[in-house]
Amino acid sequence: MPAEAADLRADVLAIAAHRDDVEQTCGGTLLRMASRGLRTAILDLTQGEAGTRGSAEARAREAAEAAGLLGVGWREALALPDGAIENTLPNRMEIVRMLRRLRPRVVILPYWQARHPDHAITATLGQDACFLSGLRKFDTGAEPHRPFKIVYASLYADVRPSFVVDIAPFIEQRHRALMAYRSQYANQSAGSGLFVPEEEIRERTFAEARHYGLLAGVRYGEPFVQKEVGLVDDLTLLPVQSM
C-alpha cells in the first residue's frame, strides 16, 4: 500500500449530514479518541447551501477550523443536496468510496429517528454504504472494506443510550469547536426565531452533557446506541456503579 494511502486511514470515522452536526453530537468523543492516539475523521454529506444562516463557503471555513479544534486528521464534504439527501445507490457508492479510502474500524452515524429528515436518512444511508463497502463486486477501484462497528450518536433522541463516553476532560474544547460556526450561532436577525440565542448555547449544551454524564457516573458524557448485544468477559470489571 502506498504511504500516502496509509496516511489517510482512520480508526474512527464520523459521518454526518451537515457541517456542525458532529460538533454537536460526538465532538467530545472524537477528542477523547484522538487523545488515545487513534486516528479520527469526519465525512459531511452536504455543503450547507440550504442553511437559514451563512453560506456553503462560510461553513467550509468554519468546518476546517472546527476540525483543527477536534484534532481530526481528515475532513471532507460531499455535495449531496442539503435538505434533500436520499438513500440512493449513487449516494451509497459515494460513501463507499470514502469508506474504502479511509478504512475505519468504527463508524459513527446519527441516530435513525430525528426531526431533520437529512439526519434520519443519513443513518440508513450510512449503514447501507458500510454493508456495500464490503462487497467485492461493487467495484470502485479500491479494495473492499467493511467497518467492524457502527454506533449511533443519540444526543437528540429520546432513547436510553447503550453506552456513554466520558468527555469531561474535553468539554471546553468541544464547545469551542461548536462555536467555530460563527455564521450559525452568533446572534443575528436571520433565523432569530429558530436558533437558540448565542448566550444560551453553552448552558444548554453543557446541561445535556451533564445529564448523560450523570447516567454513567461521570461529569459530562455523550450518548450512543448500538444495535448489537454487548459482550462481557469479566463481570467484576463492568463500569458504572449500580447503587
For the chain, the average pLDDT equals 92
Average pLDDT over residues 119-128: 98
Give yes or no for residue 193 having a pLDDT over 70.
no
Contact 23, 65 (CB under 8 A): no
The confidence score (pLDDT) of residue 184 equals 82
pLDDT digits (tens, 9 = 90+) for 11-49: 999 999 999 999 999 999 999 999 999 999 999 999 988
Q: Cell triple for residue 47?
A: 455543503
218 DSSP assignment: S
Whole-number Cα distances in Å, 171 to 31, 166, 193, 204, 223: 9, 10, 27, 13, 14
Q: Which of 124, 123, 144, 126 is nearest to 135 (CA)?
A: 144
Higher pLDDT, 139 or 76: 76
Model confidence at 196, pLDDT cuts 50, 70, 90, reads: confident
Domains of the chain, with CATH numbers? 3-225 (3.40.50.10320)
Average pLDDT over residues 45-69: 88
Model confidence at 2, pLDDT cuts 50, 70, 90, reads: very low
Q: Cell triple for residue 20?
A: 456542525
The Cα–Cα gap between 90 and 68 comes to: 30
Task: List strands edge to edge, sheet with 221-225.
Answer: 74-80, 40-46, 12-16, 106-110, 149-153, 221-225, 163-166
Q: Cell triple for residue 231?
A: 459482550
At 225, the amino acid letter reads V
The confidence score (pLDDT) of residue 134 equals 98
Residue listed under C-alpha cell 458524557: 221
Q: 100-104, 143-147, 187-191: which has the minimum mean pLDDT?
A: 187-191
Average pLDDT over residues 210-235: 97
Model confidence at 191, pLDDT cuts 50, 70, 90, reads: low
Average pLDDT over residues 47-73: 89
Average pLDDT over residues 49-59: 79
pTM: 0.93
Q: Cell triple for residue 184?
A: 450559525
Average pLDDT over residues 158-179: 97
Model confidence at 198, pLDDT cuts 50, 70, 90, reads: confident
Model confidence at 1, pLDDT cuts 50, 70, 90, reads: very low
Burial of 182 (0-12, 13-18, 19+ CB in 10 A): middle
